[in-house]
Structure 1
Amino acid sequence: MKVDYIIVGCGLAGVSFGEKLEAKNKSFVVFEDSSQQSSIVAGGLYNPVTLKRFTPVWKSEEQLQTALPVYNQLEKEYNVTLDYKIPVRRRFTSLEEQNNWFEASDKVGLKPFLNTTLIDNNNPKIDAQFKLGEVLSTGRLDTKLLVEKYRADLETKNCLIEESFDYDALSIGHDCVIYKNINAKHIVFAEGFGLKQNPYFNNLPLGGTKGQLLTIHAPDLKLDYVLKSSVFVIPLGNHNYRVGSTYEQKDKTNTITSEARDMLLDKLKTFIKCDFEVLTQVAGVRPTVKDRKPLVGGHQTFKNMYIFNGLGSRGVMIAPYVANQLYNFIENNVAIDAEIDCSRFY
């Protein structure tokens, strides 16, 4: 079999790069063994502001302009709703936080996204006496449904190979890569935290931050926006809400823990004043980098081998942008943004 590309991994990175290849009429196959869960269990928020310190997300406007049309096109192709436009509101705990919000709203990169009219809390089930600040241009992507639909679509096109990738079976030629019976011009590793097992790129400083989330059922809460306090509360419909997330550095497994559950519930109960039932708990390891930027670019030695990784907790926003960067680098010899080029660590 001859193809233009082999993609290893089918999370948000693999989906975004596959969509870019399809738009450019490039042939490809995707290897996926379902070992990584971060894209599937993610909260799926896209939000151009870091709400802990009121700082702008890197290239947020460009990311949104690139990402949202991609998801809109996939919605049309699969005849499903993936992108839910929903406000994100920050719960203030003091007048000082309100003042910091107003100061931040004049900063470059934040002005288009911070509503300077504070919102009164009219929900008796929420404790927010210092009002709420609203972020603009936000939403939630159903990442689980996206990945499921995309994989099913690949299956129908005979482009999905559901098995673990065997690095020992890969041969590198002068102008191609050969894997078993597949001859490809290029190979792109989009394995998430699974990159740690990759002998070609495991020298890069990819960390892993484990995140755990709860889904709760709270009929009395009646929340029609995403609430950010010490944890996020994300409406899912039918009185269900996603609550998260944890950021754990030592544990690199997908195993849920009672400690994480208790911590999320303790934080939630500080500002939610109604009964609720915990329905599910999930965990995944985010692929993170110490400078909080993706790892994208070519291998030091093998010119037809590439990496697409390190999307962290903002994969929904940044994945299509990074896919464009990598595609233009490979096909058109256009330099990748220096901030995300993996060569910054070589």
Structure 2
Amino acid sequence: MKVDYFVVGLGLAGVAFCEELRQANKSFLVFDNNSQQASMVAAGMYNPVILKRFTEVWMAKEQLAIAKPYYKELERLLNVKLDYTIKLYRRFASIEEQNLWFNASDKPNLEPYLSTKLVSNSNPHIDAPFNLGEVYHAGRVDTTALISNYKSYLKNHSQLVSDGFQHDLLQLDGEKLQYQNHEAKHMVFCEGFGLKHNPYFNHLPLNGTKGEVLTVNVPNLKIDYALKSGVFIMPNTTEDYYVGATYNRFDKTNTPTDNGKTELITKLNTFLKASLEVTSHKAGVRPTVNDRRPLVGTHLKYKNLHVLNGLGSRGVMISPYAAKQLFNHIENKQPLNSEITINRFRV
């Protein structure tokens, strides 16, 4: 098969780049073997504010402007609901946190996202004596439904190779790339933490941060909003809720741990006053970078090899933006945002 692009990896980054290709009528073939699970494990919540410090997410306005129509188009293409608007509240632990919130809401870049009205808590199963603050423009994308349905779409169009990708079988022949009986002009690696095993881009400073999430059953809670305190809790079904997430910089496995489970439940119980049952426990390694910016760009020597990675814990919101940046860089020779280009790590 001869195509315009090979894409390696089908997490949030891979799907986003494939959509750029599809909408530009570029032919492509995707290689995926389910080896990296961060996108599938993610609860999928997005919001424009870093709620630990009350600061704006990098380029939040630009990301949301691209992400909202992107997911709407995916819903149309796949005929499945993906993007759920949901209220998001930040629980205040003190008067001091309230004051920090109000100070942040006065800043021009945060004003569109932070409500200046305190929300009183009336739920007997939530402990919030200092009230709640509402974050606007938040939501949740069902990442499991997105990726599984997108894989089915690619299979139906003979665009998916499900037995993974072996880097040592790739042949670089001038302007074309040869892999087994397939040929392409360009290749984009979207391997998540698997980039550590990529001989062309493993020099990039991808750290990897393990995240664990729980699904818990809380029969009497009955909240229809997401709540962030030491951890977040977010509705999944009527009585089931997502709880997350941990951040472990040392464990690089996808295996759920007792320590992670205990940490999440302990933090949850600081504000949840109800009995719960853990029904699911998952883990994945997020592709993170120290400066909290993606890794996007072209190989210094091989000009038809590219990378789209390092989306961290905000892949739902940033992947459409980063994919568009890379596509326009390759096809239209547009310069990449200087904060995401891999050239920032050249010595």
TM-score category (smaller protein) = over 0.9
Aligned to 2:88: 88
Aligned to 2:271: 271
Partner Cα distance (2:29, 2:84) in 1: 30
Fraction of identical pairs, as percent? 55
1:289 and 2:305 are equivalent in the alignment: no
Counterpart AA for 2:25:
N
Partner Cα distance (2:203, 2:300) in 1: 11
Counterpart AA for 1:151:
K
Aligned to 1:62: 62
Partner Cα distance (2:311, 2:129) in 1: 35
Partner Cα distance (1:176, 1:222) in 2: 56
Counterpart AA for 1:329:
H
Counterpart AA for 1:170:
L
Counterpart AA for 2:292:
R
The alignment's TM-score, normalised by the length of structure 1, stands at: 0.99
Aligned to 1:145: 145
Partner Cα distance (2:273, 2:297) in 1: 48
Aligned to 2:23: 23
Q: Secondary structure at the match of 1:335?
A: coil
Counterpart AA for 1:304:
N
Q: Which moved more, 1:74-83 or 1:259-268?
A: 74-83
> What do the CA deviations read for 1:229-288 (whole angstroms, capped 9, x no partner)?
000001112211000100001110001111111111111111001111110100000000
Instruction: Give the deviation of 1:210 after TM superposition.
Output: 0.2
Matches within 5 A, 1:95-174: 95-174=95-174
Aligned to 1:36: 36
Counterpart AA for 1:257:
T
Aligned to 2:181: 181
Instruction: Give the deviation of 1:171 after TM superposition.
Output: 1.3
Q: Secondary structure at the match of 1:5?
A: strand
Counterpart AA for 1:308:
L
Structure 2 unaligned runs (5+)? none
Aligned to 1:229: 229
> What do the CA deviations read for 1:1-40 (whole angstroms, capped 9, x no partner)?
1100000000000000001100000000000010000000
Structure 1 unaligned runs (5+)? none
Instruction: Give the deviation of 1:49 after TM superposition.
Output: 0.1
Instruction: Give the deviation of 1:43 after TM superposition.
Output: 1.2
Counterpart AA for 2:269:
K
Partner Cα distance (2:164, 2:137) in 1: 38
Instruction: Give the deviation of 1:172 after TM superposition.
Output: 1.3
Counterpart AA for 1:2:
K
Aligned to 1:47: 47
Instruction: Give the deviation of 1:108 after TM superposition.
Output: 3.3
Counterpart AA for 1:285:
V
Q: Secondary structure at the match of 1:204?
A: coil
Please tell me whether the aligned partners of residues 222 and 238 of structure 2 are also in contact (alpha carbons under 8 angstroms): no
Q: Secondary structure at the match of 1:297?
A: strand
Partner Cα distance (1:204, 1:254) in 2: 21
Counterpart AA for 1:315:
G
Aligned to 2:254: 254
> What do the CA deviations read for 1:91-118 (whole angstroms, capped 9, x no partner)?
0010000000000012232111001111
When the two chains are superposed, the root-mean-square deviation of aligned CA atoms in Å is 0.7
Q: Which moved more, 1:100-109 or 1:10-19?
A: 100-109
Instruction: Give the deviation of 1:164 after TM superposition.
Output: 2.1
Instruction: Give the deviation of 1:177 after TM superposition.
Output: 1.2
Partner Cα distance (2:75, 2:196) in 1: 33
Alignment: residue pair count: 346
Instruction: Give the deviation of 1:70 after TM superposition.
Output: 1.0
Partner Cα distance (1:37, 1:174) in 2: 34
Counterpart AA for 2:95:
L
Aligned to 1:75: 75
Partner Cα distance (1:176, 1:118) in 2: 59
Partner Cα distance (1:77, 1:185) in 2: 26
Partner Cα distance (2:176, 2:205) in 1: 27
Partner Cα distance (1:14, 1:76) in 2: 19
> What do the CA deviations read for 1:164-214 (whole angstroms, capped 9, x no partner)?
211111111221211111110100000000000000000000011000011
Counterpart AA for 2:135:
V
Q: Secondary structure at the match of 2:98?
A: helix
Aligned to 1:216: 216
Partner Cα distance (1:76, 1:33) in 2: 26
